[in-house]
């Protein structure tokens, strides 16, 4: 469905959703930190899978994500989330997107 099929109001909502996707993903990682503290075994592995996906959406490099998973420590992940909240990584330019508006 093309953007022309949506009203101007709906287009604005869609654009804001995608502009805030990194912040939403970072919030998701913060929520998963608490789950990691409590999880064991297979459940812990599933949570780490979710953390990896969310951190990739935030823009954290894959090697750093792999390092965090290898450490498997919720406290280190919590520190990383705090660091990312204070200083988020620069957004990647989207295909076909020109510099700043």
Per-residue model confidence (pLDDT) at position 27: 94
More confident residue, 51 or 3: 51
Q: Give me the residue spans of the domains in the chain.
A: 22-86
pLDDT digits (tens, 9 = 90+) for 52-100: 999 999 999 999 999 999 999 999 999 999 999 998 777 666 666 665 5
Per-residue model confidence (pLDDT) at position 7: 93
Distance CA 95, CA 34 (A): 35
Q: Which of 74, 16, 66 is nearest to 47 (CA)?
A: 74
Distances (CA, A) of 97 to 39, 48, 78: 41, 32, 33
């Amino acid at each position: 469905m093309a953007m022309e099929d949506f009203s101007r109001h709906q287009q604005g909502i869609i654009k804001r959703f995608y502009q805030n996707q990194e912040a939403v993903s970072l919030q998701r990682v913060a929520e998963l930190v608490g789950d990691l503290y409590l999880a064991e075994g297979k459940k812990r592995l599933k949570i780490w899978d979710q953390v990896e996906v969310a951190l990739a959406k935030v823009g954290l490099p894959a090697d750093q994500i792999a390092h965090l998973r290898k450490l498997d420590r919720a406290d280190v992940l919590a520190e990383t989330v705090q660091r990312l909240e204070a200083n988020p990584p620069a957004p990647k330019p989207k295909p076909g997107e020109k510099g700043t508006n």
